[in-house]
Amino acid sequence: MDLYYSLTSPYARIVRASLIEKQLHDRTGHHVVDPWSDDAGLMQVNPATRVPTLVTDDGVSITESLLIVHFLEATWPDPELIPQGRRAQVLGQTGLAVGIIDAGVQTLLAKRFGPEGADQGVLGQRRARTITSTLDRLESQPPEAGGDLGALAVAVALQYLDFRYADLAWREQRPALTRWHEQVARRDSLSETVPR
């Protein structure tokens, strides 16, 4: 199979970390692309020209990070990214993480492509609040420090904030989340996919 991704996309990073956790990294063809440059190879496999896009061994294109993880989990169940005994918690944490990522990415896009001040309006304020209140929720209930999907997605979300919103200083007032992150960030799946 083949994965199309950029080195900075947090959505793609969730898939890349999942491939490493499942030891599928080496059986995957890696295509680093810039989705914003209308890359011809990416357009061919995904008319929306977005990353991540996974092309299966049968030549089927799967888009949307969590659908790709669903495919990986169903096809290669071991090790489990969504452990049966903690399914609801892990999916709940994954949703919180994607909420932070969506809010961060949309704010960035508003700054880059929107009219002046687009990130400061009502929507911008809602997205900023989403990030802060979700961080506070995670501070009171950090995920388990393993390699499940919830932990990977939360770590990816936090490191995306470090990468794009360093001024936010999310660690201030959040000691439990800070400690949790220090521990989980050491996993190969995360240390090998740090955005750059």
Ligand X SMILES: N[C@@H](CCC(=O)N[C@@H](CS)C(=O)NCC(=O)O)C(=O)O
User: Whose Cβ is closer to ligand X: residue 60's or residue 176's?
Assistant: 60
Whether residue 52 is preceded by a cis peptide bond, meaning omega within 30 degrees of 0, is: yes
- Rule CB under 6 A: say whether 94 interacts with ligand X: no
- Rounded CA-CA distance 4/62 in Å is 10
Q: Based on the shown chain and the rule CB under 6 A, indicate whether residue 104 belongs to the binding site for ligand X.
A: no
Q: Does the protein bind ligand X through residue 91 (CB under 6 A)?
A: no
Counting contacts by CB under 6 A, is residue 52 touching ligand X? yes
Greatest Cα pair distance in the chain? 49
In the list 1, 3, 4, 9, the residue contacting ligand X (rule: CB under 6 A) is 9
Output the smallest distance, CB 36 to ligand X, in A: 6
Binds ligand X by CB under 6 A, chosen from 21, 25, 49, 157: 49
User: Is 159 near ligand X (CB under 6 A)?
Assistant: no
Distance in angstroms (rounded) separating the CA atoms of residues 132 and 190: 23
- Cα(first)–Cα(last) distance of the chain, in Å? 24
How far apart are alpha carbons 107 and 146 in whole angstroms? 30
- Using the minimum distance from each CB to ligand X, give the nearer residue, 65 or 193: 65
Among the candidate windows 46-54, 136-144, 169-177, 182-190, which touches ligand X by CB under 6 A?
Answer: 46-54
Residue 53, SS3 per DSSP? strand
| φ/ψ of residue 31, rounded to 5 | -125, 105
Point out which residues bind ligand X (CB under 6 A): 9, 11, 35-36, 49-52, 64-65, 105
